[in-house]
Structure formats: C-alpha cells, structure tokens
C-alpha cells in the first residue's frame, strides 16, 4: 500500500481573506477564519476548489482526466448514481506571516456606488476583516497510491487562489515550492516512519523530493503608470476621526475595489452612449445579461478581470485638512458638521489588470477609453472628485479606436429593387 505525501509552499500577498460569519462583532459584515492559535486559517476546502479548477483547465488543454482521477467524481446528476471518492486529500494548512509585519489583520470599509447618482449608495457600507500582511501558506496533502510524473508536473503548474475578492486583488498567491515522497507502511522502514512521526512531522519526513513549480505568467493583461495631479483620497471609512487614505504598513494604496468600481461605472457610461440606454447594466446588483456584467461580473458569476491594489510611491500626506459644511439657509457654517481629511497630495502609482479567462476583443478598447477619460480629467478616482480631487495623468496616454461590439451594431438596412 503506497501513500504519497506532498507539501506545497504558497506565497500569499497581503489583502487575502477566507471568510466566516461574524458572530462576536455585530458591526462586522465579513469575518476571517482563525485557527486555535488565533492565526488566519485556510481550510482544505478553500484550496480544493482552486486545485480542481486548475486540473479541469489542464484536462481541457491536454485531453486528460486528472480532474476526476485525482479529485474524485463530480456531484452526481441523478439520485443513486455511483461516485468515486477523491484519492487526493488536503490534510491541512499553516500560515506563516512575513517577518517584520506590523499588523497581522485589519478591518476595512467598503461602500457601493449608486449607478444613477454616481455617489455612495445609502446603507451599503460594510466592514470586512482581512489579512494585512503577506506570508507563506504551507499545505499538506496526501494521495492514496503513487503519483506519476505527469501527475506531479500537472500539480506543479497549479496557480492557487486564496479566498474571496478575487477580482479586486484579493487572494493573490503563487506556488513557490512543491515536495513529494512516498511511504509503504507494510514494509519495516515504512512502518517505523509511520509510527515514529505524526501530523505535519510525518509529511515533512516523507515529502523530501523537490519538484520545480511551473513559473506563473508574468505578463499582465494591461498595466499603466500614473501620477497624481492633485490630492487623492480613497478613504477607509471609519465611524469617527479624520478621513484618511487606505494604507497598509503605513504605505498608502488604492485598493483594487476602487479601480474596479471606477472602470465599471465609466464602461457602462461609454456603452450607453454608444449603443443606447439598454445596453449597459443599470441594476444595482447586476442584470447578468449585459456586456458589462459579462466583463466585470455580477452576483451570479465572477468577473473576467482582476484589478490589483496600487501602492502609492513617493507619497506625501500633509497635516489634516479641516472642512465645514455650509448652511444653505443662513450661508454660514453649519453647526456640528466640522470634519477633517488627510489626502495624498503627490505620488506615483502603477495599475495592473490581469485576466482570469478569455477577454472579448471590445473590452480592451473600452478599458483604453476609460484610461483616456481618466487622463483627460473627465473622471476622477476616489472621493471629492467634484471638488478638484482625484485627478490622475498617465505617463503614456492611449489613443483608442472606436468601440465596436458586433452583436450590438445596428443591422444594415437592405435597399429594395430600383424602380
């Protein structure tokens, strides 16, 4: 009886989360799973879905059946159908944060934008618990039986994804190392190893043969460099205190969710201007049938594009600015509405967009138009854009062609016979 153990070392970038239902904190909308020591935890089921999806793509490209061979049968279509269990077990995981990280977890706020008014939608503010630092996720796996070289090379090409918010920069990960080894407990040496080790130590003792992971694709679907023209504030909503820019380890950044909201909103405006009001989504939760829902996703399906977080380099943040609302009746300062903001006034940032799947040809043109509108100052990023904030310039602005979506183009009129 051959048992194969594997150890996968996965590098995880900051901002990931495997969610749980918040019970102890009623003000929290999305919580984190934790292990018994209080560290962020990734259950085996979270990795199993990513691994099965990878094997399914591998089968499509190479005509193999590794999806069902390694991960067991799919859910039965009819009651009473026989199924095979998965011979590949994900025994458990362990997360080790990067050394020197000041904050392990953070609570961040996020709000939805009303598609009609272009401002924050009432009662849409939610708070999420996320992991603020990167690190190494060690996953321990077991396979009942030997693994062939084809199996190992397919596993080494796995590009894992961790947790939620995939299209807004969350869960970015990379397989850094993979080790494997086999044991036969029916032999004296195998039985000795089996009885003298337990838990992760057993896997460590057996999985000693390294295999080089396949390098991930490094070419993004789109990347641009930008610089700030005036103040920028992509805030982290807090119940009290000054409105401050989102930051991680004291490094301000633009979250992927802000980029995605800006690009989706402007893409919908462009498509409505080009093809009429009914060609872009107007429903707050997504209609699921329009081109923008196909590209950016909706409640029933994940989007095709991934918007990464953008750290702001060479950032300068002046002391808090004090503002007061004006009473519309008296024309003076309104009582009780004094507030402060701490925007970023100078800096450079890099926007990276990756593709999760095939992207239609028209999408690149639409995204280029959004970038051009951003460069020309027709739209801004973050809050208070109608007050001169959020203006960005591209180092190399695009000159896109007209947007053309074939199935939305008007049908040419057919001329009748000449008389």
Residues paired with residue 9 on neighbouring β-strands, in sequence order: 138, 177
Give the per-residue pLDDT at 231: 87
Which residue ranges form the domains of the chain, and what is each CATH number? 3-211 (3.30.70), 222-408 (3.30.70)
Which pLDDT does position 364 carry in this prediction? 94
pLDDT for position 419 = 47
| Weakly modelled stretches of the chain, pLDDT under 70 | 23, 80, 115-118, 236-241, 412-419
Helix (H, G, I), strand (E, B) or coil at 311: strand
* Concatenated DSSP letters of 260-280: HHHHHHHHHHHHHHHH-GGGS
pLDDT at 339: 76
| Residues 6 or more apart in contact with residue 145 via CB below 8 angstroms | 2, 3, 4, 87
CA–CA separation, 240 and 295 (whole Å):
37
Structure tokens at 337: 């509405």
Q: What is the pLDDT at residue 178?
A: 96
pLDDT of 373 reads 94
**What is the predicted pLDDT for the residue at 241?**
67
Give the pTM.
0.84
Who's near 210: CB < 8 A, 6+ residues apart? 177, 178, 179
């Amino acid at each position: 009886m051959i048992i194969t153990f594997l150890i996968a070392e996965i590098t995880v970038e900051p901002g990931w989360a495997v969610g749980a239902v918040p019970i102890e904190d009623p003000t929290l909308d999305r919580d984190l799973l934790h292990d018994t020591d209080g560290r962020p935890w990734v259950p085996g089921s979270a990795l199993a879905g990513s691994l099965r999806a990878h094997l399914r793509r591998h089968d499509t490209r190479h005509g193999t059946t590794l999806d069902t061979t390694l991960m067991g049968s799919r859910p039965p279509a009819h009651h009473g159908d026989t199924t095979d269990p998965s011979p590949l077990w994900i025994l458990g995981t362990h997360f080790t944060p990067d050394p020197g990280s000041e904050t392990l977890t953070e609570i961040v706020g996020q709000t939805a934008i009303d598609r009609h008014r272009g401002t924050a939608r009432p009662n849409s503010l939610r708070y999420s618990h996320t992991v603020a630092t990167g690190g190494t996720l060690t996953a321990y796996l077991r396979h009942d039986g030997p693994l062939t070289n084809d199996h190992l090379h397919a596993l080494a090409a796995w590009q894992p994804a961790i947790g939620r918010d995939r299209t807004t920069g969350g869960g970015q990960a990379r397989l850094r190392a993979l080790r494997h080894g086999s044991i036969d407990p029916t032999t004296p040496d195998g039985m000795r190893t089996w009885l003298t080790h337990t838990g992760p130590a057993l896997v460590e003792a057996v999985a000693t043969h390294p295999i080089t992971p396949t390098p991930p694709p490094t070419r993004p679907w789109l990347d641009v460099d930008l610089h700030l023209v005036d103040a920028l504030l992509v805030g982290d909503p807090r119940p009290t205190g000054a409105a401050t820019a989102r930051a991680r380890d004291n490094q301000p950044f633009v979250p992927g969710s802000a980029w995605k909201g800006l690009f989706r909103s402007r893409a919908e405006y462009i498509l409505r201007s080009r093809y009429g009001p009914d060609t872009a989504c107007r429903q707050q939760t997504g209609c699921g049938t329009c081109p923008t829902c196909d590209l950016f996703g909706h409640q029933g399906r994940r989007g095709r594009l991934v918007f990464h977080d953008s750290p702001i380099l060479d950032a300068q943040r002046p002391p808090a600015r004090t503002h007061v609302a004006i009473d519309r009746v008296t024309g003076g300062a309104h009582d009780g509405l004094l507030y402060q903001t701490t925007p970023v006034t100078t800096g450079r940032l890099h926007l990276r967009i990756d593709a999760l799947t095939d992207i239609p040809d028209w999408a690149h043109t639409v995204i280029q138009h959004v970038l051009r509108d951003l460069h020309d100052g027709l739209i801004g990023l973050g809050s208070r854009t109608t007050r001169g904030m959020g203006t960005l310039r591209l180092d190399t602005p695009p000159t896109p062609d007209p947007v053309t979506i074939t199935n939305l183009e008007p049908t040419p009129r057919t001329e009748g016979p000449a008389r």
